[in-house]
Amino acid sequence: MVTCGLHLENGIQITILNALRQDTPQTMATHTSSLRSRGMELLMAYKQRPSIKLRNDLVRLNAGLVRKIAHRVSHQCSEPYEDLEQIGYLGLIRAIERFDPSQGCAFSSFAVPYIRGEMLHFLRDRGTTVKIPRRWQDLQKESQKRQSELLRRYGRQPSDFEMAEALSISVEEWREVKMANKNRLPLSLDATVCHHIDSTITLGDTLPDAHYQLLQSLEEDRQQLQRAMSQLEDKTRSAIEFVFFKGLSRKEVAEQIGVSPMTVTRRIQRGVEQMIAFLQPQLVQTDS
């Protein structure tokens, strides 16, 4: 966790709060205006001559802005408020370093995107690929406390029924919460499934590749057709190749091999029947 070492001293904070409670609205407005003027003076000084002391003074002066945003974001996620606050200070520091007083922009308006953005980046990096409902996230957090209590009470891991009863939910919902938490992160395809003497098998190796399986099936069919074609007479094989592979008409094929178109038709019909007779025993063996 980032600490930054920039917390306000308790005594100073209490003194300021007591003074604000006793001030009139006019005095409070004057005090706010004074703080803004002081902040702008510090920002201008930091722009001209940066130093860690000036930067820390600016962080202390704008700490309330970080706490306000952290409080708001903490109600939209399951991360602790304290972690978000500390991350927010990093965004505030980035804003201080990049702010240009000569642009005429209010520093608070300039700093909010940096502070909130840093928190959201933190949540994105900490978040899971599978989005789990907020209720189940809260139940998972609560279950860790209940599980420790039941473990001390019974001296063993509590059953699903005992956990569901402790959380005041059904057994089915508790099992869904457990399953969602278990599967919140995807497995890498490079994850090792098992080891062999000279190699390892990854999860990706065990998954079927539909495109590769199709290509493999087409290649097997092509090889079987080639074997069947090799059993035919030369002219019959040529007729089939010209018609089905090269797209020639029967008249064009007849001119190529020196026979009549009717003979080409008979040769094709006879050749197809021979190929079917050759392939059928192989298909039966493959299916069995």
Of the candidate ranges 140-154, 171-185, 187-201, 268-282, the one whose mean pLDDT is the lowest: 187-201
pLDDT at 19 over 60: no
By DSSP bridging, strand 192-195 and strand 200-202 are antiparallel
pLDDT at 170 over 90: yes
User: What DSSP element (H or E) covers 21?
Assistant: helix 10-22
pLDDT at 111 over 50: yes
How far apart are the C-alpha atoms of 118 and 128, rounded to whole Å?
Answer: 18
pLDDT-derived band at 127 (thresholds 50, 70, 90) equals low
Q: What is the mean pLDDT of residues 216-245?
A: 87
pLDDT at 17 over 80: no
Which tokens go with 265? 């038709």
Instruction: Answer whether 0.85 is exceeded by the pTM.
Output: no
CATH architecture of the domain formed by 10-126: Up-down Bundle (1.20)
Least Cα distance to 190 among 168, 179, 205, 175 occurs for 205
Which tokens go with 163? 């956990």
Q: What is the CATH number of domain 231-287?
A: 1.10.10.10
Q: Domain spans of the chain?
A: 10-126, 134-182, 231-287
How far apart are the C-alpha atoms of 218 and 221, rounded to whole Å?
Answer: 5
| Residue 221 φ/ψ, nearest 5 degrees | -65, -40
Compare 15 and 278 and report the one with higher pLDDT: 278
Topology agreement, domain 10-126 and domain 231-287: no
pLDDT of residue 18: 47
